[in-house]
């Protein structure tokens, strides 16, 4: 009796396999990075199984991205060629690269995937499955202000205005057209919690092509480590107004020479003026003396 039962069970199993030779299954294997970061990309990898039987004719899947996700291209549909594969392959990997909106908030977001047997383009009768993708805003932002300017020395205020901590912060002044740094061009300021600030100073000189009495933009680079341990970089601009003695060193010789030339011109003019006044007074005195002598002689007569 038991023998007949086992035979019946085997027959039913064979009939089931014959009736439905395909058992299409899809699951999400990986999300890179985890969590995903707003304003960046995330790669999603799906594993497809149950189409190793040639009768299945492979499979088709279609991703339906919703906010905050989007595809850079319109290629949301992919086809998989199933059937017999060397080394008894029974699973296939399918990947999508999604862009995340920069304003996305921290949370778990859904993405929907349509999948069906066969190489089809019509998904009206396809199955649908929903997966979760984790998004976290791990980055931060900075505000940079000109705190003080004395001669060629500028002091900058660095403020963490983001919601996350910034670790191992380094402030740099990169090479640029309007400015050059004398001395060190970078400073390590350590960690900055949200709302914290610190001051850094640099010796900065304008180049020859800089325009005085007009605000010029100094480029600042800030490198830091986010809460996931990844190094990030942010560029900022700071307006600097030039006046007085804050002048490029390569302009000083010309300016000094010009000032020296003007000083000698003033001295020569002053000496000539004194000489003219002296000669005028001397000539006038001689004329007065001669007139007095003539008057005296006429009185004696």
Where in the chain are the domains?
A: 2-135, 142-250
| Same fold flag, 2-135 and 142-250 | yes
Phi, psi of 124, deg, nearest 5? -65, -30
Q: Is the bond into 202 cis (omega within 30 degrees of 0)?
A: no
Name 84's Cβ contacts closer than 8 Å, sequence gap at least 6.
52, 54
The class of domain 142-250 in CATH terms is mainly beta
Q: Is the bond into 33 cis (omega within 30 degrees of 0)?
A: yes
Stretches where the chain sits below pLDDT 70 are: 1-20, 82-88, 208-213, 242-266, 286-301
User: What's residue 283's pLDDT?
Assistant: 74
Pairing of strands 77-80, 107-117: unpaired
Q: Within the chain, what is the greatest distance between any pair of CA atoms?
A: 184
User: What's residue 7's pLDDT?
Assistant: 57
Tell me, yes or no, if the pTM score tops 0.75: no
**Three-class SS state of 92:** strand
Q: Cα–Cα distance between 111 and 65 in angstroms, integer?
A: 6
Name 227's Cβ contacts closer than 8 Å, sequence gap at least 6.
138, 164, 165
User: What's residue 298's pLDDT?
Assistant: 65
How large is the C-alpha radius of gyration of the chain?
42
Provide the 8-state DSSP code for 224: E
User: What's residue 152's pLDDT?
Assistant: 87
Q: Cα–Cα distance between 55 and 150 in angstroms, integer?
A: 81
**Cβ(196)–Cβ(184) under 8 Å?**
no
Task: For domain 2-135, say whether CATH 3.40.190.10 is its number.
Answer: no
Q: Cα–Cα distance between 199 and 183 in angstroms, integer?
A: 17
**Cβ(59)–Cβ(118) under 8 Å?**
yes
DSSP letters spanning 143-178: EEEEEEEETTEEEEEEEE-SSS-EEEEEEE----SS
User: What's residue 14's pLDDT?
Assistant: 45
**Three-class SS state of 73:** coil
User: What's residue 107's pLDDT?
Assistant: 94
């Amino acid at each position: 009796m038991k023998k007949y039962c086992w035979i019946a069970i085997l027959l039913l199993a064979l009939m089931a396999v014959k009736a439905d030779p395909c058992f299409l299954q899809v699951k999400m294997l990986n999300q890179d990075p985890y969590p995903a970061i707003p304003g960046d990309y995330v790669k999603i990898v799906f594993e497809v199984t149950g189409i190793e039987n040639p009768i299945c004719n492979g499979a088709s899947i279609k991703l339906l991205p919703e906010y905050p996700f989007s595809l850079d291209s319109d290629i949301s549909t992919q086809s998989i060629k199933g059937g017999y594969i060397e080394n008894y392959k029974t699973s296939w990997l399918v990947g999508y690269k999604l862009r995340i909106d920069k304003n996305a908030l921290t949370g778990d977001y859904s993405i929907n995937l349509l999948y069906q047997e066969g190489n089809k383009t019509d998904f009206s009768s396809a199955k649908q499955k929903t997966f979760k993708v984790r998004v976290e805003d791990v980055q931060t932002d900075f505000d940079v202000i000109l705190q003080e300017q004395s001669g060629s020395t500028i002091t900058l205020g660095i403020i963490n205005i983001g919601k996350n901590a910034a670790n191992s912060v380094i402030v740099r002044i990169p090479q640029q057209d309007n400015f050059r740094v004398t001395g060190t061009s970078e400073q390590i300021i350590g960690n900055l919690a949200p709302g914290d600030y610190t001051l850094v100073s640099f010796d900065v000189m304008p180049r020859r092509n800089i325009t005085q009495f007009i605000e010029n933009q100094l480029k600042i680079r800030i490198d830091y480590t986010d809460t996931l341990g990844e190094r990030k970089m942010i560029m900022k601009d700071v307006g600097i107004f030039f006046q007085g003695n804050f002048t490029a060193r390569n302009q000083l010789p010309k300016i000094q020479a010009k000032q020296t030339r003007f000083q000698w011109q003033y001295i020569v003019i002053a000496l000539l003026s004194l000489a003219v006044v002296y000669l005028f007074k001397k000539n006038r005195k001689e004329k007065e003396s001669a007139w007095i002598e003539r008057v005296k002689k006429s009185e004696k007569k």
